[in-house]
């Protein structure tokens, strides 16, 4: 659900975080309790681990997770799993642990990766007449402000220091943050789906709900889970239903389970949902509407 746009007073991380916090508080959305996820782009101001907007807001909204853009084709099965009907974020996170070994091994041996990339890039560059741009090294000066200026004795060493190593470290840090162990309670919410419950014993399901109960302050979910599992045991086509469909069945008689499913629905798998509002903004905030106030802009966007 779209809430609104907010005018920024500054473009640094602290100013952006303050504006987001102030906007959510003014709208009486109770973000400290109900905010379960953030979606930003990958720029340093938003996604930096220590001083970025996501880091500042997560200190206040401890239940919120940070979601960022995807890595490469290696994560395509993970993306498909996160968007499937039988959402299994736990298995996806376990698969990411194995995927992480690949960029980590590349980080340990960046020379080999750099040579392979330069070789492939040279083949493409030859076709468009830009081979010299790949095989030569940019000019190094004493002080450079507009591009990478790493000291290097060869093109391979320059691209390794300015591009390959920073990129690999960013990918590793992003995946470790997104699928960290501290996010396990959020991933465990997918186990409340009938497709997941049918493959679990009551003991394992109760242990999973114990983690959910402590993290989200839902104490009665441990009591409801046995009846919830029995409720779906003999239901036809239960594994094909979406989380929205099973949420309807949780109303009235399973209050804590209902709240847990609402959190699961609210968790974005990628930043696509967040970025759609900015795409629609181009169609609304035209030159003819340059003096439109913030309240009217939010009304049109909704």
Distance between CA atoms of residues 182 and 184, nearest Å:
6
Q: What is the pLDDT of residue 26?
A: 80
Q: What is the pLDDT of residue 70?
A: 38
Q: What is the pLDDT of residue 74?
A: 66
- The residues spanned by each domain of the chain are 1-69+271-291, 92-178, 183-269
What are the CA-CA distances from residue 204 to residues 100, 207, 211, 225, 235 (Å)?
27, 5, 11, 11, 21
- pLDDT by residue for the chain (302 residues), tens digit each? 567 777 788 888 888 888 888 888 887 677 777 776 776 666 667 777 677 887 888 787 776 766 554 345 566 666 666 655 555 565 666 677 788 888 888 889 888 888 888 887 788 777 767 777 667 777 766 676 776 677 778 888 888 888 888 888 888 887 787 777 666 777 788 888 888 887 788 888 888 888 888 888 888 898 888 888 888 887 877 777 778 888 888 888 899 999 988 888 877 665 666 666 677 777 787 777 777 777 887 777 76
> Against a cut of 0.85, is the pTM above it?
no
Taken in order 192, 197, 203, 208, the sign of the CA dihedral is negative
Query: What residue has token string 């990628």?
Result: 270
Distance between CA atoms of residues 274 and 290, nearest Å:
23
Q: What is the pLDDT of residue 65?
A: 63
Q: Which of 183, 198, 185 is nearest to 228 (CA)?
A: 198
């Amino acid at each position: 659900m779209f809430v609104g746009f907010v005018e920024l007073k500054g473009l640094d991380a602290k100013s952006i975080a303050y504006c987001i916090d102030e906007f959510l508080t003014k709208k009486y959305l109770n973000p400290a309790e109900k905010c379960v996820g953030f979606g930003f782009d990958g720029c340093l101001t938003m996604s930096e681990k220590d001083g970025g907007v996501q880091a500042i807001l997560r200190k206040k909204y401890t239940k919120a997770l940070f979601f960022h853009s995807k890595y490469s084709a290696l994560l395509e099965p993970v993306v498909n799993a996160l968007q499937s009907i039988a959402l299994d974020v736990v298995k996806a996170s376990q698969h990411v642990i194995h995927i992480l070994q690949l960029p980590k091994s590349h980080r340990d041996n960046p020379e080999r990766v750099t040579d392979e990339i330069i070789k492939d890039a040279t083949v493409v560059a030859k076709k468009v007449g830009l081979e010299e741009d790949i095989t030569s090294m940019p000019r190094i000066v004493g002080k450079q402000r507009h591009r990478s200026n790493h000291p290097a004795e060869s093109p391979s060493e320059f691209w390794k220091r300015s591009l390959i190593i920073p990129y690999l470290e960013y990918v590793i840090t992003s995946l470790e943050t997104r699928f960290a162990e501290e996010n396990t309670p959020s991933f465990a919410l997918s186990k409340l789906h009938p497709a997941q419950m049918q493959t679990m014993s009551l003991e394992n399901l109760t242990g999973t709900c114990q983690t959910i109960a402590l993290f989200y302050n839902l104490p009665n979910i441990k009591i409801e889970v046995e009846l919830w599992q029995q409720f779906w045991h003999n239901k036809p086509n239960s594994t094909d239903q979406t989380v929205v469909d099973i949420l309807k069945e949780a109303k009235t008689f399973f209050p804590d389970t209902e709240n847990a499913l609402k959190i699961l629905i609210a968790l974005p798998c990628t930043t696509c949902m967040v970025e759609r509002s900015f795409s629609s903004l181009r169609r609304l905030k035209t030159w003819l509407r340059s003096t439109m106030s913030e309240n009217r802009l939010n009304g049109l966007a909704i």
